[in-house]
Amino acid sequence: MEPVVVPLAEPQRGVAFQRLALALALVTVCYNIVEGVVSVWFGAQDETIALFGFGVDSFVEVISGIGIWHMVWRLKSHPGEPPDRFERKALRVTGAAFYLLAAGLVLTTAIQVVRGEKPATTFWGIVVSAVSIATMLILLHYKREVGRRFDSPALLADANCTKACIYLSVVLLIASLGYEATGFGLLDSAGALGISWFAWREGNEAFEKAKGNFACSCQGVCHGA
């Protein structure tokens, strides 16, 4: 006999969402702070713009995680206020950060190409990207599961940030492996441009979702109208 699933009452559903969303945001923030520091440090030391840009992207993930955490915290503290404003704020913060990252990477890559610079090594790019792919796949699974269960556009958008991070990790891995195999410096630049393209696309997506109308099924649980 299959177990009977008892739906959560409205207040219980809101509390469950808040706890799960806060936990996922905390894990995202903590992991990406570590990943960002490591990537930016080794990217600067080895002069690999792809790894450096990947590290900055990790800090964008931190901004996204903080936005989700702030949204849930405010909803919990002010249960009587419309939650859609907080979801839109989280989406706009994430989108703006992605735009800044994309612009910075394009500018830095252009300078690198003009100067003919190339990395000393991309070994750490291989290590960081491999670890990131494994970690982000786990986070993506749980963010999607919680976001769909509670119909939260902001959390699903945050899951898209995580998905983008997986794509970026793959780009970094390919660029790093290619450079280690060939020593062709433009592969690192190509990897950085690939990261900037993903960042720009995710920024557009976040702002488009921020323009949408939201309806609330219960406290702290919203879905697109």
In this structure, the chain runs to a length of 225
- Tell me how far apart the alpha carbons of residues 104 and 110 are, in angstroms, rounded to a whole number: 10
Tell me if 2 is assigned to some domain.
no
Residue 11, domain member (yes or no): no
pLDDT band at 138 (very low <50, low <70, confident <90, very high): very high
Position 10 in a domain:
no
For the segment 96-115, what is each residue's pLDDT rounded down to a tens digit?
888 888 888 888 888 778 87
Residue 1 lies in a domain: no
* Structural domain contains residue 89: yes
Does the global pTM surpass 0.75? no
Looking at residue 196, its pLDDT comes to 86
Angle ∠(136,175,156) on CA atoms, nearest 5: 25
- Band (154; pLDDT cuts 50, 70, 90): low
Q: How many CA atoms lie within 13 A of 205 on its CB side?
A: 17
CB 72 within 8 A of CB 22: yes
8: its two tokens: 């959560």
pLDDT band with cut points at 50, 70 and 90 for residue 225: very low
More confident residue, 73 or 181: 181
Write the CATH number for 202.
Answer: 1.20.1510
Residue 172: inside a domain, yes or no?
yes
Domain-located, residue 82: yes
Please indicate, yes or no, if residue 3 is contained in any of the structural domains: no
Range of the domain at 163: 17-224
Give the number of domains in the chain: 1
The three-state secondary structure class of 188 is helix
